[in-house]
């Protein structure tokens, strides 16, 4: 069973990488920085966008592509902030656990890239599959909430290896948890020693400046 799957998977990944390359060239040509947010369900990707976007616009023109298995709730939450938001639901693609470059291309067709500086791609909530798929982003960012436990970088290493930034969310909950922040930091270093880490709370605003500065991109802080 496994042996049979490999060539098909390779072909799928090759086709995806080709299309991701096209997306990347298109975004670069339009001068749009694209970041791809990866996390477990409920780690707070949408809440982070809700806290970030009002602090970025209008100086940084932001658009959002949201991936989910089902519902358009997150795109609605983002659109309520007055920025362009496109929802991709993967239910029609067999309930895929990640976004692929082809789906993101379709989303790009529905956004006026000439009016954007930053495109945030909020992937399907999942720490495994999205790490394996390039969708044409400039950087992947992996979020991890403190409620998920300090061992997650070791258990889902790929998500932290492919990331250009790790964001630890829900820092305001630390006092209410049995949670060893130093162990989490150590586990992140073990998996990816050069990964920059931002620790923040979208609710209290703690740590948001470091994240916003990274998000704006080099030389735009």
The answer to the question of residue 85 lying near a copy of itself (CB under 8 A) is no
Least distance from C-beta 57 to a copy of itself, angstroms? 23
The answer to whether the beta carbons of residues 141 and 167 sit under 8 Å apart is yes
Question: What is the gyration radius of the CA atoms in the chain, in angstroms?
Answer: 17
The answer to the question of residue 15 lying near a copy of itself (CB under 8 A) is yes
Ranges within 100-129 binding a copy of itself (CB under 8 A): 102, 124-129
The answer to the question of residue 206 lying near a copy of itself (CB under 8 A) is no
The answer to the question of residue 217 lying near a copy of itself (CB under 8 A) is no
Rounded CA gap, 111 and 65, in Å? 9
Question: Minimal CA–CA distance to 85: which of 96, 73, 101?
Answer: 73
Could you count the other beta carbons within 10 Å of the beta carbon of residue 114? 10
Query: DSSP readout, 149-205?
Result: -TTHHHHSHHHHHS-SEEEEE-GGGGGGS---HHHHHHHHHHH-TT--EEE--TTT-
Ranges within 29-58 binding a copy of itself (CB under 8 A): 40-42
The answer to whether the beta carbons of residues 184 and 168 sit under 8 Å apart is yes
Nearer to a copy of itself, 47 or 118 (CB): 47
The answer to the question of residue 11 lying near a copy of itself (CB under 8 A) is yes
Give the DSSP H/E element, type plus range, for residue 87: strand 85-89
The answer to the question of residue 61 lying near a copy of itself (CB under 8 A) is no
Of the residues 29, 70, 183, 221, which one makes contact with a copy of itself according to CB under 8 A: 70
Least distance from C-beta 29 to a copy of itself, angstroms? 24
Can you give the binding site for a copy of itself, defined by CB under 8 A?
A: 1-2, 4-6, 8-9, 11-12, 15-16, 40-42, 68-71, 73, 93-97, 102, 124-129, 132, 145, 147-149, 151-152, 154-158, 170, 173, 176-178, 203
């Amino acid at each position: 069973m496994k042996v049979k799957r490999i060539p098909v998977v390779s072909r799928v990944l090759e086709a995806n990488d080709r299309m991701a390359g096209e997306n990347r060239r298109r975004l670069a040509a339009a001068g749009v920085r694209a970041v791809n947010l990866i996390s477990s369900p409920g780690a707070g990707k949408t809440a982070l966008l809700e806290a970030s976007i009002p602090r970025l616009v209008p100086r940084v023109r932001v658009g959002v592509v949201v991936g989910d298995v089902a519902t358009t709730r997150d795109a609605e939450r983002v659109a309520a902030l007055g920025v362009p938001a496109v929802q991709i639901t993967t239910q029609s693609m067999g309930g895929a656990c990640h976004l692929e470059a082809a789906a993101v291309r379709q989303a790009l067709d529905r956004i006026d890239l000439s009016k954007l500086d930053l495109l945030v791609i909020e992937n399907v909530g999942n720490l495994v599959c999205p790490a394996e798929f390039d969708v044409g982003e400039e950087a992947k960012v992996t979020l991890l909430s403190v409620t998920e436990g300090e061992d997650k970088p070791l258990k889902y290493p790929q998500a932290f290896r492919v990331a250009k930034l790790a964001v630890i969310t829900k820092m305001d909950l630390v006092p209410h948890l049995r949670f060893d922040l130093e162990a989490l930091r150590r586990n992140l270093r073990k998996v990816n020693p050069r990964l920059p880490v931002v620790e923040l709370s979208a609710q209290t605003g703690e740590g948001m400046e470091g994240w916003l500065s990274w998000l704006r991109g080099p030389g735009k802080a």
